[in-house]
Amino acid sequence: MIIKHFKLSQPEKERLIRIKAKTGVQNWNILCRWALCWSLSEPTIPGSIDPQSDSNVEMDWTTFAGEYAEIYEAIIRQRCLNDGLGDDPNTLIRYFRLHLYRGINHYSTRDVLKSCSDLLESALPKEKA
C-alpha cells in the first residue's frame, strides 16, 4: 500500500465538484482514478509543487484503488522507476499525489470535459498526426 489515506486540497475538491456536475459521476474515488490514469499516460513528469491537504475530502487507499490496489501501486512504482525517481515510500507517495493533482487539474480545465462521454473518450489512444 503506497499510502494509508490522503486528503485532497481545497482546489482539487472544488475541481472535482465541477467534474462531477459535468460527468454525472458521483464518486470521488472513481474520478480520482480516472485523473491518476490520465496523468500517468502523459510522458512528462508532473510539476514539483506538492498539493496541500487542506480540504475535508479524505480518502483511504483501499477506497481510492478498490480491488485494483496492487495494480495501481505497481503502475505508480514502475512509472517512478521509469522516470528515474526511485521507488522509496516517500517518492511513491509524492508522485502519486502529483499525478493525481495533475489529472484533476486537466479534467477540470475549461472545455476538456463537457459530459461523461468526454471522460470516456479521454481513455482512447491518442491519434498521431
Cα distance between residue 62 and residue 106, in whole Å: 24
Torsion-angle region of residue 8: left (phi > 0), alpha (psi -120 to 50) or beta? Answer: beta
Distances in Å between the Cα of 71 and the Cα atoms of 32, 49, 77 are 15, 26, 10
Number of neighbouring beta carbons within 10 Å of residue 93: 14
Pairing of the two strands 58-60 and 5-7: antiparallel
Strand partners for 5:
60
The reported pTM is 0.89
pLDDT digits (tens, 9 = 90+) for 75-104: 999 999 999 999 999 999 999 999 999 999
Q: Which domains are present in the chain?
A: 5-121 (1.10.1220.160)
What mean pLDDT do residues 26-47 have?
94
